[in-house]
Each structure stands twice: as structure tokens, then as C-alpha cells.
Amino acid sequence: MAFLLKLKHWQLFLLTWGLSLVANISSFVNFRLFLSIFPLVMLLFVVGVLGWYWAIATTLFKLLPAGVKLNLRRFKVVLALPVVYILFILGYFALSFLMPDRLGGALVLAIMWIIIPLHLLSMAGIFYGLRFAAKVLKSVELQREAHFGDYAAEFFLLWFSIIGVWIVQPRLNQLVREVPQE
């Protein structure tokens, strides 16, 4: 995923938000087409945005100053939760399209009992991932451990990535030049 950090801001924007915006606009013209491509659009969006967070944290982690202690393994596990959730949702969409008559009341209720906790865990995982990636980015820039007041702007720019990609990505392009090649 480190390749995401080498993209120009407009390339990353098109990858993460471009197709999503086009698909949403096209839903007004042909809603059935939108429903058929929605899983692909959602998958590309999630891979793009979560992959961006992953790339920021794992690539820049190598540039952290010696005194900064962050748990990269926990970040990886926690950021995997939204991926599991999205795969579960995509599976549910596939089942609902392939077998709409079999998804009756009791099964839908049972699935909701799975989806709701997964959704909440997914949200927590995304926010943890945002915080971790923002903290790593700012800690690398400051060359000391950043506190929330230091990286609050980065946190919100990553959260609202439709705007943040234009501001954060050029900084990442500059920093990634300093990362040793493996």
C-alpha cells in the first residue's frame, strides 16, 4: 500500500473519491446500475481510504524518532476490523441479490445482530486508525512524540479525506522520499 503515498494528490483523490462521486451522481440516472456496481465502488473506496491510513502508518513508522513508542501491531489488528466488516456487508449484499426470497424476517434479524456490533467495532477501528496515522505523521514531522493538540488538524484532515487528500498528500510525497527502500 506504500504506493498510495507516492501518488499525486489528484490521483489519490480520483482513486478514493472520484469513482464514488461519479457512481452517486449516476444513481439519479440509473439506480439499478448503481445498485449493481455499488459493491465494487464501496470496495475501491474502502481499500483506497483505509489503505491510505495503512500506508501512512506503516511506511512512516520507520521514520519515527527513537523515543516514540507506538504499537504498530495493535494498529494493524484494529484497522483490520473495518475490513472484516466491509467484507461481511459485501457478502450480505451478494446474498440479498442472489437469493432475495430466502432473506426473510428471522434471518435478517439474526444478521442485524451481527452487523450492529461489527459496525460499532468498525467505527472504533477507523477512528483508532485515523488517530494512529495522524500521530505517526505528525511525530515524524516534529521528530518527537506528538500529542493530540499537535496532530488534531491531521486527524480531521484524514477523517474528511475528500478535503484532506489535497493538503496531506503533498506532505506525504515529501516525507516518503526519505523512507529507506526495502
pLDDT digit of tens for each residue in the chain (182 aa)? 888 999 999 999 998 898 888 888 877 888 877 777 888 888 888 889 999 999 999 999 999 999 999 999 999 999 999 988 988 888 877 777 777 676 666 777 787 888 899 899 999 999 999 999 999 999 999 999 999 999 999 999 999 999 999 999 999 999 988 766 65
pLDDT score, position 115? 85
Would you say residue 125 lies in a domain?
Answer: yes
In a domain, 170, yes or no: yes
Confirm whether 169 is domain-assigned.
yes
Inside any domain, residue 102:
yes
Long-range pairs for 127-132 at CB < 8 Å and ≥24 separation? 128/75, 128/78, 128/79, 129/50, 129/53, 129/54, 129/57, 129/75, 129/78, 129/79, 129/82, 130/53, 130/155, 130/158, 130/159, 131/155, 132/53, 132/57, 132/70, 132/75, 132/79
Integer angstrom CA distances of residue 144 from 50, 139, 141, 151, 157:
25, 5, 8, 12, 21
pLDDT given for residue 71 in this prediction = 96
- Specify the pTM: 0.86
User: pLDDT value at position 104?
Assistant: 65
Residue 182 lies in a domain: no
| pLDDT at residue number 182 | 57
| Residue 64 backbone dihedrals phi, psi, to 5 degrees | -65, 145
Contact 12, 166 (CB under 8 A): no
Decide if 181 is inside a domain. no
Question: Which grid coordinates belong to 125?
Answer: 477501528
pLDDT of residue 9: 94
Distance CA 150, CA 142 (A): 9
When divided into structural domains, the chain yields a total of: 1
Range of the domain at 56: 2-176
